[in-house]
Amino acid sequence: MALVGIARLAAQSELLDAKRAVQYFEIPARSILNRTKPHMPFQWTINPYRGCEFGCVYCFARYTHEFMELDARDFEDKIFAKSGAAHLLKQELGRVGRAEHIVIGTATDPYQPAERRYGRTRSILEVFARERGRYLGITTKSDLVLRDIDLLKEIARANVLGVNLTITTLDEKLARWLEPRAPRPALRLETVRRLSRAGICAAVLPNPIMPGITDGERQLDRLAKAARDAGALSFGGGPLFLMPAAQKVFLPFLEQRFPGLAPRYRELYAKSAYLGREYKETLQQRVRRIRERYGLAAGPIEYRPELWIEEQMDLWSWPPSTTTFPKS
């Protein structure tokens, strides 16, 4: 069968490098900004890479490799760096409304090891450092984000910026099982501390919260307290969702590490990737209660940056071009 679209581009991608079992490719990107579905809290996403070397066993984004006719299990071993990311962003930013939120790192970690060498995320931040009045979020598990602290400070002076560190557990052993190649939780908390000291709004996301593994009241409470102590301003999370591509990795993991939980998970996720309303509501209440205990916000912090631009009316395009003036 002839490959088409992204699968064809992936097959033609040039191999940039390989280490251990990981191979790095360059993939041509047609676009760098992706519109989200209407119910999302942000309107645009940017993912400078495809695949993610951190290899979290619960990663929902594995399906993106299936689009490229690759196995979901290749997600952490075949990493694609998008070419021309910054150039594309400059061309496409005009499509983003001033009140719309952009998040970097929703389907891949923008600070995974590949970023040390290819710098795609940094090139994107350099574009944002020249912008004013944007809403930008970055989600990562990596302390490598601290490399860009100079740019982050510059962006935060003229745009509303938030950096989210994902920490599912403080238990080092459990973290090693769940997120085999990601930085240790203590390193991520230290990253929150250093961002906060630099004046950057930081959040801790305990996502995804896994039933019977990381959803305990005491576990979440410890995490929220540690987040607050490190200087995080927000703490918000939701339950695990498990699409078929993610199940291929997560269910065998459960059989190996949590055999007692595996049958229940199979049952829970047999018909849908999402958990039922009752569990979601109970979890929401738990997270809300804990958040309130530590005075943490639910979402990004709205602040007025020093160099903010006011929304101005554009007189040159007024009245709208569709208006026809009566002929004199």
* Residues forming the site for ligand SF4 (CB under 6 A): 52, 54-56, 59, 61, 108-109, 141, 179, 182
Q: How far is the CB of 83 from ligand SF4 (least distance, A)?
A: 20
Contact 235, 291 (CB under 8 A): yes
| Burial of residue 147, with CB atoms counted within 10 A of its CB: 0-12 exposed, 13-18 middle, 19 or more buried | middle
Are residues 178 and 166 in contact, defined by beta-carbon separation less than 8 angstroms?
no
Cα 298 to Cα 69, 133, 152, 291: the distances in Å are 38, 22, 22, 7
Q: ∠ CA(106), CA(111), CA(115), 5° rounding?
A: 120
What is the distance between the alpha carbons of residues 313 and 201, in angstroms, rounded to a whole number? 30
User: Which residue, 112 or 219, is less far from ligand SF4 as judged by CB?
Assistant: 112
Per-residue exposure over 238-266, b if at least 16 CB sit within 10 Å of its own CB, e if not: bbbebbebbbbbbbeebeeeeeebbeebe
Minimum distance from residue 325 beta carbon to ligand SF4 (Å): 54
Nearer to ligand SF4, 58 or 135 (CB): 58
Whichever of 55 and 134 has its CB closer to ligand SF4, that residue is 55
Which residue, 133 or 211, has its beta carbon nearer to ligand SF4? 211
Q: Are 61 and 52 in contact (CB under 8 A)?
A: yes
Q: How far apart are CA 139 and CA 111, in angstroms?
A: 9
Min dist CB 18 to ligand SF4, Å, is 19
Q: Is 52 or 204 the residue whose CB approaches ligand SF4 more closely?
A: 52
CB of 62 to ligand SF4, least distance (A): 8
Closest to ligand SF4 by CB, 109 or 115 = 109
Nearer to ligand SF4, 25 or 54 (CB): 54
Minimum distance from residue 54 beta carbon to ligand SF4 (Å): 4
Contact present, 168 and 178 (Cβ < 8 Å): yes
Residue closer to ligand SF4 by CB (options 129, 182) is: 182
Q: How many CB atoms lie within 10 A of CB 299?
A: 15
CB of 115 to ligand SF4, least distance (A): 12
Q: How far is the CB of 52 from ligand SF4 (least distance, A)?
A: 3
Smallest separation (angstroms) from ligand SF4 to the CB of 61 = 5
Which CB sits closer to ligand SF4, 20 or 218?
A: 20
Task: Report the SS3 class of residue 81.
Answer: strand
Q: Are 108 and 48 in contact (CB under 8 A)?
A: yes
Which CA distances in Å does 201 have to 89, 221, 298, 310?
A: 24, 21, 13, 21
The DSSP annotation for 239-301 comes to B----HHHHHHHHHHHHHH-TTTHHHHHHHTSS-SS--HHHHHHHHHHHHHHHHHTT-BSSPP
CB of 258 vs ligand SF4, minimal distance in Å? 18
